[in-house]
Amino acid sequence: MDYNDFYQNERRREQGQLTESLPSYTAKTFLWMFLGLLTTFGVAVGGYVSGLTIYAFLSIPAFHMIVLVAELAVVLVLSARIHKLSVPMATVLFFAYAALTGVVFSTLFWIFDLSSLVLVFAVTALYFGALSLFGYFTKTDLTRLRPILMGGLIFLVLFGLLSLFFPIFSGLERIYCLAGIAIFLGLTAYDTQRIRDYYFAYAHDGQMAQKASIFSALQLYLDFINLFLYLLRFMGKGKR
């Protein structure tokens, strides 16, 4: 973190050249993430209670692939075109992704006990909150962890693909889950610290600052969701 940029921005804010402080900007980013999680939860519960989700998965050919491709497309558009998107469009895409994830998550209610889902969610929130606080307050530059975290993500993808074709890898499921938990805890701290970088870079560009906030919220949302899924695989209790 460049503290010269921090103090310069704070002085400009005090002089009225900036309308938002770093704590306010960070809080707004986490609010976006929370609203995304709330959307996912609402869609998941609605899909489960109404039975619409299971009906779609059973009656529409390759429905799960359609949802997966749609999710991937939204993330790619937000990542690649964040500079060109308008704030309303970036917002729509963010909540569209959260809703699509909710469609997938509604199936978890058929697979896992409700008490298990609640417990894992609570543990996820605890771990996520602790690492977010660390990422926000630490003075250590976490960008040095980026190569390790990116390598970890590649490992998770490759391991997941190999386990589909080679049963021997299924015996390493718990180690795989622990690796996923560790990687997304690290990403949580890293992405939280990145909020400050976006603030420093776009503090004078209101539109870009808002889009960067939404993009950061998406990254944190993905960290939370993936952390939840790996914890669920590791400690979740399925229905009998």
pLDDT one-digit tens code per residue, 39-93: 999 999 999 999 888 888 888 888 888 988 998 899 888 888 888 889 999 999 9
* Phi, psi for 203 (deg, rounded to 5): -60, -25
pLDDT one-digit tens code per residue, 219-236: 999 999 999 999 999 988
d(CA 55, CA 61) in angstroms, rounded, equals: 11
State the pLDDT at residue 7: 47
CB 227 within 8 A of CB 128: yes
Sequence-distant (6+) residues with CB within 8 A of 37 are 98, 221, 224
Assigned token pair, 91: 């917002």
Assigned token pair, 38: 């709330």
pLDDT one-digit tens code per residue, 119-134: 999 999 999 999 999 9
Q: How many degrees, rounded to 5, is the angle at CA 43 between CA 39 and CA 48?
A: 150
